[in-house]
Amino acid sequence: MWSILTSTKSFEDRWIAHAGLNDRGLHRRRMTAADFCARLRRAQCRIPEDEHTRSFAEQGFVVVPDFLPPDAFATIADEARARLAASEAHTPIPANEARGFGARRKAPWGFDRFDGGTLNRFVRIERGQSPALAAFTRSPRLAALARSRLGAAIPPRNIRLYLTVNGDETRTPDDQKVLHRDTFFSNIKFWYFIDAVTADDGPFVYVPGSHRLTPARLAWEEMRAIRASAARKVGIIGTEGAFRIEAEELAGLGLPPPVSVTVPANSLVMADTLGFHRRGDAVPGTQRLALYGSVRPWPFGLIRR
């Protein structure tokens, strides 16, 4: 039963999916307790409010254009493209015909992973080879923005160069292109885009304000938890806990339609993925290159990180 006090979200766990406990509000209580702890961590950080932290708090995501000065961005972009080219020289971009969330395909430079036909290439940042990229992973501005929402910074080891190559949805659908939330508590992901992201490139899509635990959202979460618990009880698999939602359900939760986040190069996008989000629709074969990082702390921790 100790899994209840961890970040475990999967309803394949017998305690997370305990039907009797979820009928009595277990899932709702885990969410509200984690939200309370995140508020305490944020309060300890005392990040000064500005237009970006305010937008992040209100909307659940934030876009920061011109994140770096032009000369610093040019250096970052050159190093990023060199590291990507080296990975492609060692391991050409592969194709995939299998459905679902794929396993990591490890390589000396990092790893590839597929979401259906969509390739995710994660390239490790080496300080000796890419000093500007390594310096970015320790950016005080990046850390402050993450702490303003989560009370925790993104560890440098969690930041990689990230290439997305969009697949063909008619052949191998990408599950990340369905609206969902990642887990039951606030966590942070960011993308710092080396190239501009257009509507054709699979931009990040987010439902503004969906990170808030309103009464309607908590009721929806409780309903989904009870349904997932019942499914496990009769042996139905696939109850991993990253709940999906249909766009038609949003209005019933008092939420607006999703917005597609297209940005110019040198833009940072950061989001609390407790909110509903997805990877946007794309033209097959289009690519987007970014620095990417995430942090998912222990949800019940009370000390800032």
pLDDT band at 236 (very low <50, low <70, confident <90, very high): low
Question: How far apart, in Å, do the first and last CA atoms of the chain sit?
Answer: 26
Any domain includes 303: no
Residue 155 or 170, more confident: 155
Higher pLDDT, 295 or 14: 295
Please state, rounded to an integer, the average pLDDT across all residues of the chain: 94
Asked whether the CA dihedral 201, 207, 212, 217 is positive or negative, the reply is negative
pLDDT at 234 over 60: no
Question: Residue 301 pLDDT more than 70?
Answer: yes
Banded pLDDT at 241 (limits 50, 70, 90) = confident
Residue 61 has a pLDDT of 98
Does any domain span residue 302? no
CA gap 23, 210 in Å, rounded: 24
304 lies in a domain? no
- 3-class DSSP assignment, residue 162: strand
pLDDT in tens, 14-23: 899 888 999 9
Query: Amino acid identity of 27?
Result: H
C-alpha 290/C-alpha 201 separation (Å) is 12
Q: What local confidence, expressed as pLDDT, does residue 235 receive?
A: 52
- 84 phi and psi angles, rounded to 5 deg: -65, -45
- Predicted confidence band of residue 171 (pLDDT cuts 50, 70, 90): confident
Stated length of the chain? 305
Q: Determine, yes or no, domain membership for 305.
A: no
pLDDT score of 58 more than 60: yes
Domain assignment of residue 216, yes or no: yes
How sure is the predictor about 170, in pLDDT bands with cuts at 50, 70 and 90?
confident
pLDDT at 98 over 90: no
Is 250 domain-assigned? yes
| Per-residue pLDDT band at 282 (split at 50, 70, 90) | very high
pTM: 0.95
C-alpha–C-alpha distance, residues 150 and 190, integer Å: 13
The C-alpha atoms of residue 273 and residue 207 are separated, in whole angstroms, by 10
Looking at the structure of the chain, the number of domains it has is 1
CA distances to 8, 83, 107, 143, 291 from 103, in Å: 20, 23, 13, 30, 21
Classify residue 40: in a domain, yes or no. yes
- pLDDT category at 73 given cuts 50, 70, 90 is very high
- Give me the CATH number covering residue 170: 2.60.120.620
- The residues, any chain, with a CB within 8 Å of residue 77's CB and separated by 6 or more, are 194, 265
DSSP character at residue 194: S
Residue 24 domain flag: yes
Q: Is there a contact between 193 and 66 (Cβ–Cβ < 8 Å)?
A: no
With a pLDDT cut of 70, the percent of the chain lying above it is: 97
Domain assignment of residue 106, given as a range: 2-295
Say how far apart CA 288 and CA 285 lie, in whole Å.
10
